[in-house]
Amino acid sequence: MKYDVIIIGAGPGGIFSAYELVKGNKDLKIAVFETGSPLEKRNCPIDGEKVKSCVNCKTCAIMSGFGGAGAFSDGKYNITNDFGGTLHEHIGKKEAISLMEYVDEINISHGGEGTKMYTTAGSKFRKLCLQNKLNLLNASVRHLGTDINYVVLENLYAELKDQVEFRFHHQVDHIELLEQGYRVYCGEQSDDCDKCIVSVGRSGSKWMEEVCQELNIPTSSNRVDIGVRVELPAEIFSHLTDELYESKIVYRTEKFEDNVRTFCMNPYGIVVNENTKGIVTVNGHSYEDPEKQTENTNFALLVAKHFSEPFKDSNGYGESIARLSNMLGGGVIVQRFGDLIRGRRSNWKRIEEGLVRPTLAATPGDLSLVLPKRILDGLIEMIYALDKIAQGTANDDTLLYGVEVKFYNMEVNIDENLETPYKGLYVIGDGSGVTHSLSHASASGVHVARHILNCVQAAD
Ligand SMILES: Cc1cc2nc3c(=O)[nH]c(=O)nc-3n(C[C@H](O)[C@H](O)[C@H](O)COP(=O)(O)OP(=O)(O)OC[C@H]3O[C@@H](n4cnc5c(N)ncnc54)[C@H](O)[C@@H]3O)c2cc1C
């Protein structure tokens, strides 16, 4: 089959490329190839009863399928250039924000109306943070919530499905350069296209590396973020989360001058497992629906680790630490902050006697046997720093789940159109290493679609 555009991956990057292409030119023949399932068929076998932990499905229903890694996310849609990726370095700060706002409007008109937008602008917490050596980053965040995020995806799919050919369970193995355009292989089957948008997210990072090697597209990579997920009674952070929902706070440690930051804050949320190719790490989300909310808030504390030459495998380093926690705990480990400080592993008795009821059934253990000293020291310093603006963060009963790892894709060499050195071959979203969030990934999709529409118009 011959298409005008083939999009590889149906995450936010792929979806918003398709959306904008269809909106701009109804005559284009567009296909989306996706490894995973349609939205309604994305079911993780973990039910908390018969299946309690990850069974390593061939295709992870949490990470793959229509909606990509973001489908069951908390749906925190951050409008900012301060975090979530470096899209602005390619397309400019103004354009990046304008595209994120544009996608926000689409989300609102597709089921997100009534959801709340929070902002750090003019917040009294900025001063409080600065007084305690903490830096509150600038952002506006719309909290869609896992439930509304799902509705938005359902509505987007309903709108696109008659105009775009979605092929699910269709994993692309190979991209071949043609004299004009590209040939995309899934096993024996192949399809041709004039333009190809690769939007394979984090789950497609290894494959993306192979494609870049094969096609000789330059890449760079040197970062991984490692830390824990903190869970505590929601009241402790409610003064911040009620006003800001998500506060991204950065602390520079005194000991090593490393940056530790809060990430992915989930008021009244739950802590969840995340499986990346058999490695179980921790994550979190929360629901907009009060019925599904818990009494706890969770957020990640992460230390960014940058490596210099000759070491290149920053993700391998993060994976090794995650594997160590999986080896000791059979998955994610949970520890009370008080036990960590006293140098002893946690056990169920002490956790059950504590003030925080865990929302994830993890294995009580000792994170000091897993995390390198430098990272652990940074996390402990940050917890004490946060205790000054949210008293109770450093309570003995605060739970720490480990490990949380943010793997970064190697950064693909793309230009201001997010185009590789090959004309008509684009790499966008988290798979490009340029974005790490729903908003930046979605915005990158719109940006590329508009560039393609301009090229098509110029050629007509
Ligand atoms: C649990 C969780 C919670 C999160 N919460 C938030 C949040 O609240 N806010 C936020 O901003 N970000 C959040 N994120 C991150 C966010 O989901 C991602 O940044 C975003 O989904 C990236 O979009 P993408 O389109 O680039 O990639 P993805 O969403 O990863 O989509 C890529 C798609 O490509 C498919 N694919 C991969 N390889 C191939 C192949 N070879 N052939 C065909 N298809 C392929 C995959 O199956 C996948 O569906 C969360 C992530 C997780 C895992």
Give the residue-averaged pLDDT of 312-317.
Answer: 86
Instruction: Please state which of the ranges 60-74, 126-140, 346-360, 424-438 shows the lowest mean pLDDT.
Output: 60-74
Q: Band the pLDDT of 206: cuts 50, 70, 90.
A: confident
The full 3-state SS of the chain, as one line of letters, equals CEEEEEEECCCHHHHHHHHHHHHHCCCCCEEEECCCCCHHHCCCCCCCCCCCCCCCCCCCCCCCCCCHHHCCCCCEEEECCCCCECHHHHHCHHHHHHHHHHHHHHHHHHHHCCCEEEECCCCCHHHHHHHCCEEECCCEEEECHHHHHHHHHHHHHHHHCCCCEEECCCCCCEEEECCCCEEEEECCEEEEEEEEEECCCCCCHHHHHHHHHHHCCCEECCEEEEEEEEEEEHHHHHHHHHHHCCCCEEEECCCCCCEEEEEEEECCCEEEEEEECCEEEEEEECCCCHHHCCCEEEEEEEEEEECCCCCCCHHHHHHHHHHHHHHHHCCCEEEEHHHHHCCCCCCHHHHHHCCCCCCCCCEECCHHHCCCHHHHHHHHHHHHHHHHHCCCCCCCCCEEEEEEEEECCCEECCCCCCECCCCCEEECHHHHCCECCHHHHHHHHHHHHHHHHHHHHHHC
Instruction: Tell me the pLDDT tens digit for each residue of 64-94.
Output: 999 999 898 878 899 999 999 999 999 999 9
Distance 73 CA to ligand 1 centre (A): 9
What is the model's pLDDT at position 205?
87
Give the residue-averaged pLDDT of 319-343.
Answer: 96
Q: Which residues line ligand 1 (CB under 6 A)?
A: 8-14, 33-36, 64-65, 68-70, 73-76, 78, 84, 171-172, 199-204, 207, 264, 274, 283, 285, 429-431, 436-439, 441
Nearest atom of ligand 1 to the alpha carbon of 76 = 8
Return the residue whose CA atom lies nearest to atom 6 of ligand 1. Answer: 73
Instruction: Tell me the pLDDT tens digit for each residue of 6-18.
Output: 999 999 999 999 9
What is the model's pLDDT at position 212?
96
What is the model's pLDDT at position 220?
86
What is the model's pLDDT at position 153?
97
Give the residue-averaged pLDDT of 289-313.
Answer: 91
pLDDT of 56 higher than 80: no
Instruction: Tell me the pLDDT tens digit for each residue of 147-179.
Output: 999 999 999 999 999 999 999 999 999 999 999
Fold of 2-116+142-220+411-459: FAD/NAD(P)-binding domain (3.50.50)
Q: Band the pLDDT of 47: cuts 50, 70, 90.
A: low
What is the model's pLDDT at position 306?
87
What is the model's pLDDT at position 407?
84
pLDDT of 399 higher than 90: yes
Return the residue whose CA atom lies nearest to atom 41 of ligand 1. Answer: 172
pLDDT, the chain, mean: 94
Return the residue whose CA atom lies nearest to atom 46 of ligand 1. Answer: 64
What is the model's pLDDT at position 459?
87
What residue spans define the domains of the chain? Answer: 2-116+142-220+411-459, 223-407
What is the model's pLDDT at position 48?
63
Instruction: Tell me the pLDDT tens digit for each residue of 233-277.
Output: 999 999 999 999 888 999 999 999 999 999 999 999 999 998 877
